[in-house]
A and B are shown apart, each in its own frame.
Chain A
Amino acid sequence: MDVQTITSPGGIEAWLVEDYAAPMFVLHYAFKGGASQDPIGKEGLTNFVALMLQQGAGDLTAVEFQQRVEDLAIRVEFVPGVDAVSGSIEALSETRSEAAELVNLALTRPRFDAETVERARRRLLGFHGGEARAPHLVANAQWNAVAFAGHPYGREIYGTEASVNRITPEDLRSYCKRVFAKDRLKVVAVGDITVDELGVFLDRLFGDLPANADLVEVSKVSPVTGGRLRVAEMDVPQSVVTFGMGAVSYDSPDYIPAHVLSHIFGGDGFSSRLIRELRVKRGLVHFASTWLERRQHAAVFRGRMATRNDTVSQSLQIVRDEMQKLSDGHLSQEELDDAKSYLTRSYPLTFGSHSKIAAQLLDHSMDGFGPGFFETRKATIAAVSLGDLKRVAKHLLDPGNLIISIAGTPTLQPPRNA
């Protein structure tokens, strides 16, 4: 796969993978900013904006805008994130330029009609009354609030009922002006499009955006250390447990070893240590996994599992014990080799469609890697030694730093030392 870096006549940079197997094309892009830019008291603003961007723009009302999307047979998405608002366009080659014009309209001339804003607000409030009460979201929100107290990361992307109620059409308008600008934009294109065609497309799509964003500086932050345990009591038969702690950031040489370590501890598939101990041997959980979380201003190692209320303590003790074992250096060359083999050989599978290629490359681009990263990644993983792994495990995985957030009605016993 050949990733080219191109610049449009108007000066917009993008990565491009040309592929002419099918007459379609996918564009993924992101404006840095995201929910970390939501003003205090107006949490949920980014989320609100993303929902509104397909609700009318220029001369098109909400319904007319959606009908236009259907008439053009394109797919348009706006996705709110903590660190960015991202978007995607999937179009057949023949409707490409109309797609660019339509999405440009959404980004530069969103209408935010009062009635449409109220309709969206009702939907967002409905979310707070409904889906937001799902145990995994409650556990997650509580984890963030504890780990990042006082930092924008401690707030939820969807805000609270009160903050959603405070957001005005003017807030939505000013957010778009502050965030949708050319200097914070990352773009990846994949599919049936040449370098010149992409240049024209990018200028049509983004050309008239302001040159510079006006963002609030977000400070670097680390999850609180020393361990925490917090329970959100919910009357459900099964507790959902989110756990985690600080980790290492992308620019650290320890990042890739930490990635390998997370895979061994609780990574994909059926053979991680947590799955072996919690599921295969004891039948305590259906799922349990860990990962390094993608955030621009913090490095986080996270995990999640769900288990009956009366087996939460036992399961948590196993998580602590397994973490302690890794921290103490109980790691074998064979485990490392298996993990490296999986992480390098399965990577091409993440490029299974235009859309997946674009999403994966955009992640790399947002994390500050160059277009060649997908090639060097393999060598970087292959170079991880057992010594690297043990060193990183020792300083990263201290069970004493575990922040544990539970949603449910767990019976809890104090932890015992491993």
Chain B
Amino acid sequence: MLAPTPQGVTPERRAVQFKLANGMDAVVIPDHRAPVVTHMVWYRVGAADGPSHRSGLAHFLEHLMFKSTEKIADGAFPKIVMELGGQLNAFTSQDVTVYHERIAKEHLGQMMAMEADRMVNLRLTEEEVATERNVIIEERASRYDNSPNARLSEQMNAALYLAHPYRLPVIGWAHDIAQLSREDALSFYKRYYAPNNAILVVAGDVTPDEVRDLAVASYGKIPANPAVASRDRAKEPPHEVARRITLQDKRVANATFQRSYLTPSYATAESGAALALSLLMVIVGDGATGRLFRRLVVEDKVAAGASGGYFGGGFDSGIIQMQAVALPNRDLGDVEAAVDAVLDEVRENGVTELELNRAKRSLRAAYTFESDEQEKLAERYGRALSVGRTISEIEGWPAAISQVTTDDVKAAALTHLDIRRSVTGHLLPEITNARSAQPRQVSAP
């Protein structure tokens, strides 16, 4: 049989890491295929670091970072980047807030100067803050309030964590967003935005020495903020009971099942458990060859689709999620029973060598294909370093995946598919006589 070994044929891409005198970390991933660079600043602060009565604060600040400084007028930051032909954006997760640009390499120095400027010189007016708050309320409506599945996911998350701030949505609860103020944003900014709480990631057509010189001349001029402390978040107590929630929504036609398990992450797991969980969930939940799909969709014919995955990138924990959409005439109870049968089987008997080898090939190939895209390459390093992992762990991942045994996978299933650490969610249609999506002609302008 053919056994491609992507880790053997991929040219070794060694990222280079260094630290500035003020404590800012930097990593450079040379990629000389095109004269383009990806420049990212990863702040080690995310939604889970804000005060619990101000959910959404980190994301709110991310939006406001596009306002002015003394040097850059309101709205000018994106305008300058775009005039130079660059693209830019930002995102916030539970653990990080990230700003990034892709641009021709000759503009890297200017991007660094602009990012360094807004690291400490942000100005905000009351009016800018009020307007942006409304933008976020619209964003929340698009992403959550308008979508039944997203509403269920948000509720599942709130139920999964008993104490840890991951229970709060990154975008924030609507009532908290409405209260976020200029002072909230600025105090969060002053506390967490500092070179010693940030990681510079540059991938592209540059050498580590060039990047170091540019970084020293920009970020290097900003003094460290001694007030930045290590993360101190509420810890989860032992989980003693499984939780269940049901959400009814009139827009739902087909009942949907979701399940989440609280697990370790790559940053917290002991001795390879996260690797085993990654492989376990490829075997259980990935695509049309996964066990869930084969059992629920192909054999039992109770679901139209079924899948699952392991998300191990978190600073404090990871999560296993799975979902299945019931066929119109099938009960969600049958769907849930079939999912549990698949999980019981894997806990009891583990996985086969054939399945494991296929899952390993699949993950290693995904790693190789991902390396083709510069932004994803940069993101891979930023994501891992920002939760305390190392470059050798990142680059050694395909080889480490190869070492996992069927025993490791079985042990991971036994330990971590623990119903007491789970939430089960049912999304059901709501029977009402509410209006359906019937078009009505209103008027012609």
Contact = CB atoms under 8 A, between A and B. Distances in A.
B142 interface: yes
Contact of B75 (A270, A352, A400): A270
Interface stretch (A87-95, A148-156, A210-218): A87-95
Contacts of A345: 83-86, 104
Given A98-B2, A135-B146, A231 B444 contact: no
A95 B305 contact: no
Contacts of A75: 365, 369
Contacts of B373: 352-353, 355-356
A119 interface: yes
Given A126-B325, A345-B104, A349-B36, A227 B444 contact: yes
Given A236-B146, A284-B134, A353-B372, A70 B104 contact: no
A70 B358 contact: yes
Contacts of B95: none
A138 B146 CA distance: 12
A162 interface: no
Interface stretch (B48-56, B116-124, B245-253, B332-340): B245-253
Given A63-B294, A66-B289, A125-B328, A271 B79 contact: yes
Interface string B64-93: 001000000011001100111111100000
A348 B325 CA distance: 41
Contacts of B441: 230
Interface in A366-410: 400, 402, 404, 407
Most B-side CB within 10 Å, residue of A72, A98, A281, A342: A342
Interface stretch (A18-26, A28-36, A200-208, A325-333): A18-26
B374 A352 contact: yes
B368 interface: yes
Given A73-B4, A94-B9, A271-B82, A306 B133 contact: no
Most A-side CB within 10 Å, residue of B35, B131, B252, B365: B365
A22 B138 CA distance: 43
B445 A415 contact: yes
Contacts of A344: 85
Nearest to A118: B301
Interface stretch (B192-200, B235-243, B273-281, B432-440): B432-440
A74 B373 CA distance: 16
Nearest to B139: A286
A403 to B, nearest CB: 10
A227 B2 contact: no
B327 A238 contact: no
Contacts of A348: 34-36, 85, 104
Contacts of A66: 287-289
A123 B142 contact: no
Contact of A226 (B10, B135, B438, B444): B444
A230 B445 CA distance: 11
Contacts of B87: 268-269, 346, 349
A283 B135 contact: yes
Interface in A83-114: 90, 92-95, 98
B408 to A, nearest CB: 20
Given A338-B79, A345-B84, A414-B445, A73 B131 contact: no
Nearest to A135: B146
Contacts of A349: 36, 85-87, 102-103
A306 B301 CA distance: 38
Contacts of A407: 437
Contacts of A342: 82-83, 85
B375 interface: yes
Nearest to B297: A119
A142 B103 CA distance: 38
Given A63-B289, A119-B298, A123-B305, A72 B442 contact: no
Nearest to A406: B442
Contacts of B134: 282-284
A201 to B, nearest CB: 17
Nearest to A410: B442
A281 B131 CA distance: 7
A307 B138 contact: yes
B45 to A, nearest CB: 23
B6 interface: yes
A341 B134 CA distance: 31
27 contacts: A22-B10, A22-B372, A24-B369, A63-B298, A66-B289, A71-B2, A92-B6, A94-B9, A119-B297, A126-B254, A133-B437, A226-B444, A229-B445, A230-B440, A233-B437, A234-B435, A240-B146, A268-B82, A280-B75, A283-B133, A283-B135, A342-B82, A344-B85, A345-B83, A346-B85, A353-B374, A412-B443
Interface of B: 1-2, 4, 6, 9-11, 33-36, 66, 74-75, 78-79, 82-88, 102-104, 130-139, 141-142, 145-147, 250-254, 256, 287-289, 294, 297-298, 301, 304-305, 325, 327-328, 358, 361-362, 364-365, 368-369, 371-375, 434-445
Interface of A: 19, 21-24, 54, 62-63, 66-67, 70-75, 90, 92-95, 98, 119, 122-123, 125-126, 128-130, 133-135, 138, 142, 226-238, 240, 268-271, 276, 279-287, 306-308, 338, 341-342, 344-349, 351-356, 400, 402, 404, 407, 412, 414-415
The 8 A-B pairs of least Cβ separation, nearest first, read A345-B85, A129-B253, A283-B134, A126-B304, A238-B141, A73-B365, A286-B139, A270-B78
